[in-house]
A = this chain, B = another copy of it.
Amino acid sequence: MSGAVAVSQRPAANRASAEQAGLTEGLADLDGIGAVIALRRDEPLFRPGDRAEFYFKVLKGAARSCRLLADGRRHIGEFFLPGDFIGLDAAESYAFGAEAIVETTLIRYSRRKVEALAAEEPRIGQSLVEIMRTGLAAARERMLLLGHMTAMERIASFLLDLARRRDDGRISLPMTRTDIGDYLGLTMETVSRALSQLKSSGIITQHGMHELAIARPAALVELTKP
C-alpha cells in the first residue's frame, strides 16, 4: 500500500535555510552507503509490486512515480527533482512504479542498511521523520488542489511550485503535457489550453518547449486563489 515520496531538501526559497540544513545534516551519514546510478529517458527505477529494497535520491535530472488504472488511465503520484527522495513511503513492496523522465542520476540506498543505521542513531530516524512530515504536508496541499481547484488554479499552483525550485524566475518542464495532466488530474488538452491562455495573457513566456519564465508572478499567484 505504498509508493514514493518527494521531498525537496530546499523546497521553498522563502523558508529558513537553517531548517533545511538540519535536515541534510542528519542524513549526511547515509552518504557512505549509497551507490550512484544513471538512467536514460523513460528507464524504470522500479516497477509497482517490486520488493522495496531501496531508497533513492535524485542528483540530476527528473523522475516520476506512476500507476496505471484498470482502464488505462495513468496517475502520476509525484515528480522528483534534484534533492528529492524516492521510495520512503513503500511498505513491503512499491505500490507505484518510478521512471526517469530525462537522463537522470540518482543515489541508491539500501533500505535495510538505512534502517539499521536509524535503529542505532536516533538522529537518522528523526531526519526520516522530518522528511516524511514534509512529504505528508505536501501531500495534503496536493489533495486540496486535486479536490477543490479548477484547471487554471491547478496549473498556476503547479507552475509556482516548480518556480520555487529555481532561483531565477524560470521554470523547467522536463515532462510532457500528458505527464502534467496525469499529475494534476486533467487531460493533456486542458493543460495545453491553460498554458496557452497564460501565454496569451502575458503572465508567462515560453523559451523552448521545456522552459518557461514567469513574467508576472503576482498575476500567477492570483490565479491560484478562487
Contact = CB atoms under 8 A, between A and B. Distances in A.
A150 B115 CA distance: 39
A183 to B, nearest CB: 8
B70 A226 contact: yes
Contacts of A184: 147
Contacts of A69: 144, 148, 225-226
Nearest to A76: B147
Main secondary structure of the interface of A (DSSP, over half): helix
Contacts of A89: 133, 136-137, 140
A143 to B, nearest CB: 6
A226 B73 CA distance: 9
Contacts of A137: 1-3, 89, 91, 95
Contacts of A139: 136, 139-140, 143
Interface stretch (A116-124, A155-163, A170-178): A116-124
Interface residues of A, number: 49
A147 B115 CA distance: 33
Contact of A125 (B1, B5, B77, B125): B125
Contacts of A122: 118-122, 125
A161 B70 CA distance: 19
A90 B75 CA distance: 27
Contact of A185 (B3, B126, B148): B148
Contacts of A182: 147
Can you list the 9 inter-chain pairs with the closest CB atoms, starting with the nearest? A147-B185, A125-B125, A71-B226, A146-B146, A2-B137, A89-B136, A139-B139, A132-B132, A1-B137
